[in-house]
Amino acid sequence: NRKYVIAVLPGDGIGLEVMPPALRCLEAAAKRFGFKFEFREYPWASCIYYQEHGVMMPSNWKELLKACDAIYFGAVGDPASVPDHISLWGSLLLFRREFDQFINLRPCRLIPGVPSPLANRQNHTIDFVTVRENTEGEYSSIGGRIFEGTSRETVIQNTVFTRQGVDRVLRYAFELARSRPKKKLTSATKSNGISITMPYWDERVEEMAKEYPDVKVEKYHIDILCAHFVQRPHTFDVVVGSNLFGDILSDLGPACTGTIGIAPSANLNPVSSKDDSAKEWMPSLFEPVHGSAPDIAGKGIANPIGMIWAGQMMLEHLGEKDAATAVIKAIESVLARGGTNLLTPDMQGKGTTQSLGVAIEQEIINVVL
């Protein structure tokens, strides 16, 4: 009698297009593996809602989301109508902060069938995961403008690294590295230029590394790390970075393996549990890495795989391992079969959101585990 209540927030742009096929995939998995979903779909956390109400969300948003087991989120943003910092700080970034989703897990894999710009890497396995700090760092709300409109106009935004904030994301990344065959952790830094916060980050990495003698630790400044992502992505395993560096690396990685259209993301609060009545319940959030893609919105050609794969991460989080396996296998098998008519344009095909979504849904029902 397993049943999960999921808050569904499609958002804006292609978020509205990739959500329906992804929900059908989740339904198919639930049906096959004998559990149920209750999807509570909300039109807020979108610029469409903002235009009507002047706010991104109703005042009881927290209550509504906390009544759920997880949040399934499309993408938010319509810069033509609402400034991005208003729409994002009024929704997604607020969720990450308020629900203390301090881990942003973003796997990156080269999947056979997806054309990659790194053609000469096709015979290497690319399979790494970015662990992005998700609640502090460069994404702080501390700062401001002074002397506005004068020649002395000054704008300041502070970066915040707390010991707890840095240590908990590093701990998660070290544990994850320890659990994987390569047992390798790459830390993104910039301690040559960013001379206060980044040396602190490095110090905490070195300190924690003493507890993990079995994990091979390396660090690179973010600039050359970006270069290494392009030139030898197959050498990475777990890559840990601050909020901003993790953001950049998690678009770059999937771009190297073909397209950001397939990249998933789990915003986790790994310590909150629904069973622990002593502590406030804070749900985790699952979303594609990509945004609302206004340039292709409304055309029906958005790649639905990032959204579907995020659903796969949600299934794992909910403990539905077999369903999660079926979904990832279905994605792999459909991509391997491929074909110009099935793959969406970001994968050099002529396919549509709809037809690719349906193919994966069918495969979820039939794929051999």
Query: Which spans of this chain sit near Mn ion (rule: CB under 5 A)?
Result: 247
> Are the C-beta atoms of 331 and 291 separated by less than 8 Å?
no
306 is an interface residue for ligand NAD by CB under 6 A? yes
DSSP 170-212: HHHHHHHHHHSTT-EEEEEE-TTTSTTHHHHHHHHHHHHHTT-
Alpha helices in the chain (DSSP H): 15-33, 47-53, 61-66, 84-89, 92-98, 163-179, 197-209, 222-231, 243-256, 305-317, 321-337, 353-366
Q: Does 302 bind ligand NAD (CB under 6 A)?
A: yes
User: Binding string, 224-243, against ligand IPM, x = CB under 6 A?
Assistant: --------------------
Rg (CA), the chain: 20
Using rule CB under 6 A, residue 247 touches ligand IPM: yes
293 near ligand NAD, judged by CB under 6 A: yes
Does 254 contact ligand IPM by CB under 6 A?
Answer: no
Residue 291 within binding range of ligand IPM, rule CB under 6 A: yes
Window 317-346: residues binding ligand NAD (CB under 6 A): 344, 346
Q: How far is the CB of 82 from ligand NAD (least distance, A)?
A: 8
Any idea of the CA torsion for 48, 54, 58, 61, to the nearest 10 degrees? 80
Q: Is 88 in the site for ligand IPM (CB under 6 A)?
A: yes
Cβ distance to Mn ion smaller for residue 260 or 359: 260
When the beta carbons of 78 and 320 are compared against ligand IPM, the nearer one is 78
CB of 300 to ligand NAD, least distance (A): 11
Q: Identify which of 298, 288, 189, 182 has the alpha carbon closest to the alpha carbon of residue 245.
A: 189
Strand partners, 29: none
Q: For residue 71, which phi and psi values (nearest 5 degrees)?
A: -115, 130
Distances 169 to 67, 136, 173, 175 between C-alpha atoms, Å: 26, 11, 6, 10
Q: Look at residue 75 and give the partner it binds from ligand IPM, Mn ion, ligand NAD, none, a contact being a CB closer than 5 to 8 Å depending on partner kind.
A: ligand NAD
- By three-state DSSP, how is residue 89 classified? helix
Give the largest CA-CA distance in the chain: 67
Q: Measured between alpha carbons, how far is 303 from 75 in angstroms, rounded to an integer?
A: 13
Q: Is residue 14 near ligand NAD by the rule CB under 6 A?
A: yes
Tell me: does residue 262 bind ligand IPM (CB under 6 A): no
Min separation Cβ 77 and ligand NAD, Å: 2
Residue 96 or 204: which CB sits closer to ligand IPM? 96
Nearer to ligand NAD, 7 or 92 (CB): 92
* Binding-site ranges for ligand IPM (CB under 6 A): 88, 93, 247, 289, 291
Give residues in contact with ligand NAD (CB under 6 A).
14, 75-77, 79, 84, 88, 92, 260-261, 287, 290-296, 302-303, 306, 344, 346
